[in-house]
Amino acid sequence: MANVLKMAIVEAIYSLRAAGLSCREIAKRLGIHRETVSRHLRLQHRSGLKPAITPIMPAGSPASPALAGFEAPTGASMAGRASTAAPWLEWMLEQHAKDLSTKRIHQDLVAEFPGASGVSYDSVRRLLKKLGAVLSPPFRRMECPPGHEAQIDFGTGAPIIGPDGRRRRTHVFRIVLSHSRKAYSEAVFTQSADTFLQCIENALEYFGGVPRTLVVDNLKAAVLHADWFDPELNPKLADFCRHYGTVVLPTRPRTPRHKGKIERGIGYVQGNALKGNSFASLAEENDHLLSWEDRIADRRIHGTTKRQVLAVFNEYERPTLLPLPATRFENFREVKRKVSRDGHVEVEKAFYSVPPEYLGRDVWARSNGRVVRIFNQKMAEIAIHAKHDHGRFSTSMNHVHPMKINGLERGIAYLLGKVRPIGPHSHTWAQAVVTARGVEGHRVVQGLLSLTRKHTCAQLETACETALSYQCYRLRTLRQLIGRAAQKQKPLEFLSEHPLIRPLDDYAAVVARAIQRRQDRPDMDEGVGRHGIGIPVTATELRSADTNSHGIPPATSPDPLP
């Protein structure tokens, strides 16, 4: 049985609480349990009894007209340590009476009083709020026109207990139309993006129409990057909204009041439909929720609208909902992949090509049972493939870089077109090769094109003309013809020096020394020698002159003059 306190202690609790003390401090001072203090404070709040909150002035503070009517409660004191702004409380209340904001009061306090330089804005705000001088503005209630908005959230569902006694946790998805409060609930095991979209789609089918906006919190299935001004939505959710013609508006992070209708709706389904219940399967729980919506939730008189939920929905909201599209949203699996060095991405153990400019970059891949679509970071489609089995490659020729496409892959028409500029004989020879050798001739034509890197078009034309006359269609013969023609046209080089031929300068030196030796011997008879130079010179003299000029006789050459 709850403890019954004397009235004096209850009044002391209220007074100390009005002075700003915490429940723990009040319990410590009065010698009672803090839960007892909390209970009496809750009873006070529910009953609407609010004792007068009076400011507590520092000792010796002068009287002020701004403080008229305030009286400090008996036995009360400020909670914790004194506020650093307390010495200037009288002045701050005077400024507040002039309808100045708390920020302005703090600015003026620091500017006018040198000793207040260390007083923070939070100290001023807390002190004024504790004295009742600062009142938060009331929340503005937002009501929506019919068909304009729906709010969505997840909560904890009833557990699933299988035949083996294993207990499995569930989540309850709930969406509420903001005008009529018509709602739809569904139990699920996960909060993945696919499950989230499926639940929304089931709810829209249940309503028979689409609201213009969907208000969600920042769950990962819907929002990749939370930002009040410019959130980054899940790309699949963005496509889902485009398909149904609606818009998703995430709330401000950690601000549940922005979707207060669904916050209360989650508590309603948890406390009324699911509390104390357990189910054997997920289907059984969803059947129970669907029946509960029809029997209880739709038939109730809503506490705010004071009208029956189903009646307001049928009369006002259903006609204003946007029509459903002809087909349901094509559900697909979406993954983020990095393009590998071979220009492919892996999706469900198969490989699909992308344009070469995306090599090494991140892309998005979406797949269903039939096709695989690949998108860039701006969600523009860059490739589409038929779905393949595990380990298979799907490569589009449009995705292969031109430098990596072999001439054989382009076809024989492409190769013959490359041969045509060489000349008519070369083109005719290439056509004849393809006709005579079939598929093998394709590579021969490719070899003919490779000869243009070393030989001129005129040389190739001459060789191809000769090969055509002999009906020879082998590339080896063509190379030989080009080589022979090059050898015939090659001029003979003049040999100015050779190991077996003595230079003419040596002969001139030998003759000059012989003449000199002859002049040194006047006793020799003059006459015409065997060389016709008018001076008889013997072979012995030539050898002697040659030996003297070179130091050693030549070993590899015969006598220059026999």
**Model pLDDT for residues 319-359, shown as the tens digit of each residue:** 999 999 998 888 788 888 999 988 999 998 899 999 988 99
**Which residue is associated with the tokens 């429940």?**
23
Query: How far apart are alpha carbons 397 and 355 in whole angstroms?
Result: 10
**List of residues 6+ apart from 77 with CB closer than 8 A:** 19, 21, 56
Which of 318, 379, 7, 1 has the alpha carbon at shortest distance from 182?
318
Q: Radius of gyration (Cα) for the chain, nearest Å? A: 52
Q: Stretch 141-170: mean pLDDT, rounded?
A: 92
Q: What is the pLDDT of residue 387?
A: 87
Q: How confident is the model at residue 405 (pLDDT cuts 50, 70, 90)?
A: low
Mean per-residue pLDDT, 55-68? 39
**Nearest 10 degrees: CA dihedral of 27, 30, 32, 38?**
-40
For every residue of 286-347, DSSP letters joined together read HHHHHHHIIIIITTSB-TTT-SBHHHHIIIIIGGGSBPPPSS-----EEEEEE--TTSEEEE
d(CA 37, CA 436): 107
Please report the pLDDT score of residue 77 as a whole number: 41
pLDDT of residue 532: 46
pLDDT digits (tens, 9 = 90+) for 102-134: 888 999 899 889 888 889 998 888 888 776 655
Distance between CA atoms of residues 433 and 427, nearest Å: 10
| Percentage above 90 pLDDT, the chain | 30
The more confidently predicted of residues 112 and 65 is 112
**Is pLDDT at 409 greater than 90 in this prediction?**
no
Between 496 and 226, whose confidence is greater? 226
The pLDDT of residue 284 is above 90: yes
pLDDT in tens, 432-484: 988 888 888 888 888 888 888 888 888 889 889 888 888 888 888 888 888 88
Amino acid sitting at position 558? P
Longest alpha-carbon distance in the chain: 172
CATH of domain 335-404: 2.30.30
Q: Does residue 290 register a pLDDT over 50?
A: yes
pTM, to two decimals: 0.49
- Band (494; pLDDT cuts 50, 70, 90): low
Q: Are the C-beta atoms of residues 240 and 197 closer than 8 Å to each other?
A: yes
Q: What are 18's two structure tokens? A: 């009005």
320/94: higher pLDDT: 320
pLDDT of residue 518: 82
- Predicted local distance difference test score (pLDDT) of residue 39: 83
pLDDT band for 155, please (50, 70, 90 cuts): very high
CATH code of the region 149-320? 3.30.420.10
Written as six digits, the tokens of 530 are: 């065997």
Amino acid residing at 261? K
pLDDT tens per residue across span 386-395: 988 888 999 8
Domain residue ranges of the chain, discontinuous segments joined by +: 7-47, 65-130, 149-320, 335-404, 413-488, 504-550
pLDDT of residue 235: 84
From CA 366, how far away is CA 345, in angstroms rounded? 12
Which pLDDT score, from 0 to 100, does residue 95 have? Answer: 84
Per the CB < 8 A criterion, the answer to whether 13 and 41 are in contact is: yes
Q: What is the 3-state secondary structure (H, E, C) of 35-98?
A: HHHHHHHHHHHHHCCCCCCCCCCCCCCCCCHHHCCCCCCCCCCCCCCCCCCHHHHHHHHHHHHC
Give the residue from 241, 157, 235, 171 showing the smallest Cα distance to 200: 241
Residue bearing the bigger pLDDT, 552 or 46 = 46
Tokens of 49: 């009894």
